[in-house]
């Protein structure tokens, strides 16, 4: 590698990616939005190679020549063999352990190679250590939190929460001691890393540190919009140097072209859309549990039986074991044209189809935002992380969905929820409320909208 004399440029930005689940996609979406506002800036996207190849293959980065992917070490030693029964978690923990060194080294190498010093560091908010790297580099640290502001707020307030509800058996304790939270929020809605789980795990420690460090960031960008949750936005602003809501980002700049590069995938999508064309407006249940997305086998059976017994048309984006379905369920429902099971769809495109009447979801933040922008009420079956708190907001703050009774799918619980959203007055009211939010979301990203203004203000902070 050649070593040139480096000069600092505020237009050169290093982006540090948390390379698991939907984080890389979300961060790239954020950077793409910035690059649209500031085409004169250069973004170096530091990410592991497997994730970079899937993000930047085909037309994934079309029109964004100013974002350049750089591969970093994935944290796994040569010849590594997983030791536990959860290799994914093991990988995340090894990566977290090595991340500060991985990124510092990669940044130095790129600076030496290009002869340009970076003028700003953007990182996934999880990377609290980026504050220290930025300080050493004498550049501003800007972070991106890819979830909702309420889930961010509870990480900032972790010490207070631990103090108030730390003892075991306090799951039902209400959270109104947190500004902006009503007594409808309970301790059981919190991510388990905050109080009731293994709070010493590497991931839990990273989240705790993140909450302590974020107030040092020059700006914390969040994929939401100010009118979505005014009270918590105001509270969070008091705790951070600069809270900047820039979303919903999928409305600012779609990540991929609507037409997929993968021909088989595109063919499957077309078949799905044609199938949806044959259904009544607002009649089909779209079912998906995010990018990881599998349900326990008993719940797959319960939900499948509910769909079949109630005759609810459904499109299920399913990434589990097909053998979990009741015997011949797939053949029967397919033959009667009641249901379709696919491995992956373009979710935004599906949710936008007029025949979709409900989104059965794990309550991941991107899925909620996409449901809002497509005006589709939700049935939530949250699993982990921020999903419980997101779903509580869906239920009690925005009132645009219901949580599945008892927190897990049973046949009767699923039939009840599907009838409620698809056929009853409550469902109609949810659709009306979600329509108002959709309008607010569109206004926010419009040319004079608050999120659009915020994005432009953020570019100024980065260039300063
Ligand atoms: O068939 C599918 C299924 C999913 N998606 C997309 O995948 C994304 C899923 O994102 P999200 O709903 O946020 O779920 P996860 O991928 O599970 O996201 C992780 O990250 C989120 C943001 O921090 C958290 O809210 C979640 O709890 C966490 O699991 C969305 O954009 C969907 O459009 C598709 O395009 N096709």
155 in catalytic set? no
What percentage of the chain carries pLDDT values higher than 90?
A: 82
The pLDDT tens digits of the residues spanning 82-91 come to: 888 888 889 9
Q: Please give the pLDDT value at position 464.
A: 83
The pLDDT tens digits of the residues spanning 73-82 come to: 999 988 888 8
In a domain, 2, yes or no: no
Checking if the pLDDT of 39 tops 70, the result is yes
The pLDDT tens digits of the residues spanning 317-360 come to: 999 999 999 999 999 998 888 999 999 999 999 999 999 999 99
> Whole-number mean pLDDT of the chain?
93
Cβ–Cβ < 8 Å for 117, 203: no
Task: For residue 251, give the H/E element and its range.
Answer: helix 249-252
State the residue range of the domain holding 245.
Answer: 7-253+445-463
Please report which residue ranges of 280-364 form alpha helices under DSSP H: 297-310, 329-335, 347-351
Q: How far is the CA of 442 from the centre of ligand 1 (A)?
A: 21
Integer Cα distance of 173 and 402 in angstroms: 21
Same domain, 240 and 361: no
Q: How far is the CA of 63 from the centre of ligand 1 (A)?
A: 24
Same domain, 55 and 73: yes
- Backbone phi, then psi, for 247, in 5-degree steps? -110, -170
Average pLDDT of 429-445? 98
Around 331, how many Cα atoms within 13 Å sit in the side-chain half-sphere? 4
Same domain, 287 and 303: yes
Number of Cβ within 10 Å of residue 430's Cβ equals: 24
Q: How far is the CA of 182 from the centre of ligand 1 (A)?
A: 27
Q: Please give the pLDDT value at position 291.
A: 81
CA torsion sign, 116 to 117 to 119 to 120?
positive
Domains of the chain: total = 2
In a domain, 400, yes or no: yes
Strand partners, 359: 286, 378
Around 438, how many Cα atoms within 13 Å sit in the side-chain half-sphere? 16
In a domain, 316, yes or no: yes
First to last CA, the chain: 31
Exactly one of 40, 78, 124, 278 is catalytic; which is it? 124
Q: What CATH number is attached to the domain comprising 413?
A: 3.40.50.2000
Name the closest-CA residue to atom 24, ligand 1.
Answer: 364
362 in catalytic set? no
- Backbone phi, then psi, for 66, in 5-degree steps? -90, 15
Same domain, 279 and 395: yes
Average pLDDT of 64-74? 93
Same domain, 435 and 298: yes
Ligand 1 atom with minimal separation from the 387 CA: 27
Ligand 1 mutation pick, 347, 369, 381, max ligand atoms within 8 A of CB: 347
Name the closest-CA residue to atom 15, ligand 1.
Answer: 290
Ligand 1 atom with minimal separation from the 288 CA: 3
Name the closest-CA residue to atom 10, ligand 1.
Answer: 366
What percentage of the chain carries pLDDT values higher than 70?
A: 94
Instruction: State the pairing for strand pair 7-16/116-124.
Output: parallel
Ligand 1 atom with minimal separation from the 145 CA: 23
pLDDT band at 63 (very low <50, low <70, confident <90, very high): low
In a domain, 424, yes or no: yes
Look up the pTM and report it: 0.94
Same domain, 290 and 223: no
Ligand 1 mutation pick, 19, 20, 21, max ligand atoms within 8 A of CB: 21
CB-defined site of ligand 1, < 6 Å:
21-22, 146-147, 288, 290-292, 317, 344-348, 364-367, 370, 385-387
Integer Cα distance of 428 and 292 in angstroms: 31
Same domain, 299 and 402: yes
Average pLDDT of 128-148? 97
Q: How far is the CA of 175 from the centre of ligand 1 (A)?
A: 26
Cis peptide before 248 (omega within 30 of 0): yes
Ligand 1 atom with minimal separation from the 385 CA: 27
In a domain, 1, yes or no: no
pLDDT band at 258 (very low <50, low <70, confident <90, very high): very low
CA torsion sign, 30 to 232 to 374 to 444?
negative
Q: Please give the pLDDT value at position 102.
A: 98
| Residue owning tokens 């659709």 | 431
Q: How far is the CA of 2 from the centre of ligand 1 (A)?
A: 41
């Amino acid at each position: 590698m050649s070593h040139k004399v480096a000069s600092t440029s505020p237009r050169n930005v290093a982006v540090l990616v948390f390379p698991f689940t939907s984080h890389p996609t979300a961060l790239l979406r954020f950077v793409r939005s910035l690059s649209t506002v500031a085409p004169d800036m250069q973004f170096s996207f530091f990410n592991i190679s497997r994730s970079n190849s899937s993000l930047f293959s085909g037309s994934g980065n079309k029109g964004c020549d100013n974002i350049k992917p750089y591969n970093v070490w994935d944290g796994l030693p040569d010849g590594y063999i997983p030791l536990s029964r959860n290799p994914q978690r093991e990988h995340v923990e090894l990566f977290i352990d090595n991340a500060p060194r991985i990124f510092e080294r990669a940044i130095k190498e790129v600076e030496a190679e290009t002869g340009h010093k970076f003028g700003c560091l953007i990182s996934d908010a999880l990377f609290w250590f980026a504050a220290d790297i930025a300080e050493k580099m004498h550049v501003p640290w800007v972070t991106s939190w890819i979830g909702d502001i309420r889930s961010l707020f509870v990480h900032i307030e972790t010490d207070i929460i631990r103090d108030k509800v730390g003892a075991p058996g306090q799951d039902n304790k209400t959270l109104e001691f947190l500004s902006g939270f009503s007594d409808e929020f309970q301790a059981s809605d919190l991510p388990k890393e905050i109080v009731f789980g293994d709070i010493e795990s590497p991931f839990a420690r990273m989240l705790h540190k993140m909450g302590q460090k974020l107030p040092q960031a020059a700006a914390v960008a969040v994929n939401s919009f100010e009118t979505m949750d005014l009270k918590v936005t105001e509270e969070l602003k008091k705790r951070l140097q600069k809270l900047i809501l820039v979303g919903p980002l999928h409305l600012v700049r779609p990540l991929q072209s609507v037409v997929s590069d993968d021909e088989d995938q595109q063919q499957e999508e077309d078949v799905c859309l044609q199938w949806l064309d044959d259904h009544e407006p607002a009649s089909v249940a779209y079912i998906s549990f995010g990018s990881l997305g599998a349900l326990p086998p008993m719940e797959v059976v319960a939900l499948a039986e509910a769909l079949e017994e109630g005759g609810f048309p459904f499109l299920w984006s399913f990434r589990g074991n097909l053998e979990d379905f009741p015997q011949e369920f797939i053949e029967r429902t397919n033959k009667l044209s009641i249901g379709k099971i696919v491995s992956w769809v373009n979710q935004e495109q599906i949710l936008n189809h007029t025949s979709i009447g409900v989104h059965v979801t794990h309550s991941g933040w991107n899925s909620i935002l996409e449901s809002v922008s497509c005006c589709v009420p939700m049935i939530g079956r949250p699993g982990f992380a921020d999903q419980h708190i997101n779903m509580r907001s869906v239920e009690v703050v925005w009132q645009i969905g219901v949580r599945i009774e008892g927190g897990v799918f049973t046949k009767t619980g699923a039939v009840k929820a599907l009838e409620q959203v698809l056929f009853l007055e409550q469902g109609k009211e949810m659709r009306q409320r979600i329509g108002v939010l959709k309008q607010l979301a569109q206004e926010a990203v419009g040319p004079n909208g608050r999120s659009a203004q915020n994005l432009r203000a953020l570019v100024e902070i980065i260039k300063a």
